[in-house]
Amino acid sequence: MEREKGFGDRVPSEKSAFFSTRFIRFLGGKNLLFSLISLVLLGLVIFIFNKVAFIFYPLQVLFEVVILLGVLAIIGYYLLRPFIRLAEKGKGKVPRGIVILILYIIVAALITLISLLVYPFLRDQFMNLVQEFPVYFMSLIESIVTYLNNSRFNELFMKLNFDYDAVLTDITNDLVSTVKDTFANIASTVASGITGFVSTLTGILLSLVTVPFILFYLLYEGEKMPKFILRIFPPRMRNEVGQVLKEMDKQVSSYIQGQILVSICIGAMMTIGFLIIGLDYALLLGFLAMITSVVPYLGPAIAITPALVIAIVNSPFMLIKLIIVWTIVQLIEGKFITPNIMGKSLSVHPITIIFVLLTAGSLFGVAGVILGIPGYALLKVVVSHFNALVKKRYNRFETDPANKYEI
């Protein structure tokens, strides 16, 4: 005979049954309610912060000042750290402080040597190119007009009542006037804002003086930072967090060291190629290619533009030689240099890189273009590890083996 449920018998409530379902247990069970409340509180904090943001303006200024110094120091840290590790692997144990001082002396000597030997020549070439580039541009416009006048497009444009000569002339005049207005505005700004100029120059000098001190402490105690960060997390999370920090360090190190080495190789090959074909301003254009190559894909396109204008004005044969040099350099860089130096550590698709650069540049300007790729690489590491943890948690509450993730 079936016994009726008495007062002392436990009857599962709807609330406990809801939290015991597989989907809710996967999301965290009763912790789901805590997470939702935390999200609401976080939104409330963001709303309040938006209303009283002016209170935190000094912190914003401090962050803007510190971020530049921090980025420069981190770049120097990842460039010099391999030499310190190499010195510490030697038989004679040299104190880390002595190794850092020796590296500082070598870097200072190299900067001084480059400044004395290369900088004056680059400065003179840059000033000459600034003065002569409008002449090159006008010659290019005249060549385009002459070609259109002698081609079949002339008849087509006449039928459409399209005066391309006037359009090109207007574009050229607008460009020249814009350049003149820009230089006039710069001159007036410098003349009327001596105080701002002095403060900016002071900030730059202060940064140049401060960065070596920050870099010294990073090189001296930077290896202890991951251990300090791990102590913040609970013991059960330290293994996963340690793997994330290790992967992030590898990503940033590979990108900074690899991209700078690749840029130097590209600059050297472009300079040699420009000298071989006899292109004007070869050293300056090669240096420009080296600097802009720090930005993948978009940088080389920016660097080739002035070289194309100069080559077209010189002769069509020079343009062909320039295209040959550029193609050879890009093939060598894409097939040999980048795979051997950077490898596949980032594993970012070229389309993704372009979208990241465009988005970061629109949001943060030049800093976003430079820091967009390493920032995306760090975010990718965090998201990939989080995704792996979600898969493990899903498999934990999945009873059917056919529906489990392959990890």
DSSP for 267-289, written as a single string: HHHHHHHHHHHT-TTHHHHHHHH
What's the pLDDT tens digit per position in 238-270?
Answer: 888 888 888 888 888 888 888 888 888 888 998
Q: Rounded to 5 degrees, what are φ and ψ at 210?
A: -80, -40
pLDDT number for residue 154: 61
pLDDT number for residue 7: 44
pLDDT number for residue 91: 61
Structure tokens at 165: 């000569």
Confidence at 151, pLDDT banded by 50, 70, 90: low
pLDDT number for residue 164: 55
Q: Is the pLDDT of residue 229 over 70?
A: yes
- DSSP per residue over 112-136, as a string? HHHHHHTHHHHHHHHHHHHHHHHHH
pLDDT number for residue 248: 87
Q: How far apart are CA 313 and CA 316, in angstroms?
A: 8
What's the pLDDT tens digit per position in 319-377?
Answer: 888 889 888 988 888 777 777 766 555 666 777 877 887 888 787 777 777 788 888 88
Mean pLDDT of 207-213: 79
Beta-carbon neighbour count of residue 135 at 10 Å?
10
Q: What is the CA radius of gyration of the chain?
A: 30
Are the beta carbons of 125 and 284 closer than 8 angstroms? yes
Specify the pTM.
0.67
What's the pLDDT tens digit per position in 21-40?
Answer: 666 666 655 666 767 777 88
Least confident of 85-94, 111-120, 207-216, 282-291: 85-94
Are the beta carbons of 175 and 137 closer than 8 angstroms? yes
Q: Is the pLDDT of residue 318 over 50?
A: yes
Are the beta carbons of 100 and 84 closer than 8 angstroms? yes
Sequence spans of domains, the chain: 59-117+197-232
pLDDT number for residue 191: 46
Confidence at 193, pLDDT banded by 50, 70, 90: very low
DSSP 365: T
Confidence at 152, pLDDT banded by 50, 70, 90: low
pLDDT number for residue 8: 46
Are the beta carbons of 314 and 280 closer than 8 angstroms? yes
